Homo-oligomer: A and B are copies of this chain.
Amino acid sequence: MKRLLAHGDILVWENDAFTCLKNGYLGIDGDRIDYLGADKPRAAYDEVKDMTGKLLLPGLINGHTHTGMSLLRGLGSDLPLDKWLFDTVFPVEDRLTDEDLRIGMELSMLEMIASGTTSFTDMYMAPGYTARAVLASGMKANLCRPMQSFDPDEAPMTCARMREMLALYDEWNGAGDGRIKTDFSIHAEYTCTEKMVRAAAEEAQKRGAGMHIHLSETEGEQRACVEKYGLTPAQWFDSLGAFAGRAYAAHGVWLTPEDRALLRDRGVTVVHCPESNLKLGSGVADVPAMVSEGLSVALGTDGAASNNNLNLMEEMHLASILHKGVRRDPTLLSPSRVLQMATVNGARLQGRTDTGALCVGNKADIVAVDMDRPHLTPNIDPLSNLVYSAQGADVCLTMADGRILYENGAFLTLDRDRILFEARKAAQRLLG
């Protein structure tokens, strides 16, 4: 199947910036892009889609989320962090069944697909059980089973979580023609022993897998770690080998300048989650400094329990304006830069070399935004309109590996009504 997207405005990544090719052509052969240009291609295509008035961009990549938590959306809003986590979230999480996790993940995928996300990096329970739902959805995902261990005598290689992680890797890494990748994960410094971090880092290294962690999210976490170890969380993880391979760290709100230099030198991607950091009162990460110092920064939504949605378009919008205001400099973080975080840098984080940008040879992970809307008119600057004015609901087409997942409000791979019904029923049982 060869499909031509004709007459769309195409956001092309070149020389470290996105530029807009107006009224261009994007050809797809199977799962890959085989043409991109201003002129009509000579090759024949089975189907031509008129994309006049649409903006084509790479599928967005959510660098950090907990998809199974969507069933907890709106639970315990506006509580202090410890009350929210210990008195409301944890007790409900304890009751989540594997089926609940599958439903939560499907609900999350509906939402992500409808707002232009084609790939996500998840950290939650039972990833082996829920991986099947990812395959069926047509999305891409980096899955992991986060390690936690509070007992310094626990044997790393035989504990339940390590066994789950290794089984996840063996069964699912590379599944769906590479759509699923499995990474290793340490939940956080404050929930893990040194022995466990070392072991997980070694196992990840052996397999060339990634390492997904929470890092320096709150001031308290940062302070307690320095008190306990004489090291910041970044230094502590580094001393245990966690950054030896492809590694990515969610939040990074309280990183010191020395931490930032360390992460840059190790090539660690920081996943900026501005909505979650604001809503939980964690603070504002110094993303302008990270970018100017040469760190790779991706974007994440975090889970729906602390956001409360998985809409990466909102995250781009917020990332683009938040730092301008807090640092009082309107020239910071251009639309091109935040779109880079949500695409190019997300692909790097996931260890995927054939997505994150629209170019010949890359996988056809493509999103179209309908610019024929009052709030996107006039369309003087499509990048500016995309980042500052558009809503997730302006996405009219989401495609991964050349397969259409969503078009004009209709889901083509997931059963929306069944999932919403099951999600409501599960939430009622859990919370009602």
Q: Which residues of A contact B (CB under 8 A)?
A: 70-71, 73-75, 77-81, 84, 107, 110-111, 114-115, 219, 274-275, 277-284, 304, 307-311, 314, 317-318, 320-322, 324-332, 334-335, 372, 374-375, 377-381, 384-385, 388-389, 391-394, 416, 419-420, 423-424, 426-428, 431
Contacts and interface: CB of A to CB of B under 8 A. Distances in A.
Contact of A308 (B79, B329, B385): B385
15 contacts: A70-B377, A73-B389, A75-B381, A79-B331, A80-B331, A279-B320, A279-B325, A280-B324, A280-B325, A307-B389, A309-B389, A374-B419, A378-B427, A378-B431, A393-B394
A375 B327 contact: no
Contacts of A278: 321-322, 324-326
Taking the full assembly, how many copies of this chain does it contain?
A: 2
Contacts of A419: 374
A384 B326 CA distance: 25
Given A326-B284, A331-B80, A377-B424, A391 B311 contact: yes
Contact of A424 (B275, B378, B391, B428): B378
B322 A378 contact: no
Given A281-B329, A325-B281, A310 B375 contact: yes
A282 B278 CA distance: 19
A-B pairs, 3 with minimum CB distance: A278-B325, A378-B427, A393-B393
A415 to B, nearest CB: 12
Contacts of A279: 320-321, 324-325, 330, 388
Contacts of A283: 325-326, 328
| Chain A at the B interface: SS class | helix
A318 B319 CA distance: 12
A380 B324 contact: no
A431 B391 contact: no
A100 to B, nearest CB: 11
Contacts of A372: 420
Contact of A380 (B75, B79, B384): B75
Nearest to A336: B78
Contacts of A335: 77-78
Contact of A381 (B74, B114, B389): B74
Contacts of A375: 111, 114-115, 304, 309-311, 392
Given A75-B380, A279-B321, A326-B326, 12 more contacts: A74-B378, A74-B389, A111-B374, A279-B325, A279-B388, A280-B324, A281-B330, A283-B326, A308-B388, A314-B317, A318-B318, A378-B423
A381 B78 CA distance: 12
A78 B334 contact: yes
Contacts of A328: 219, 281-283
A281 B327 contact: yes
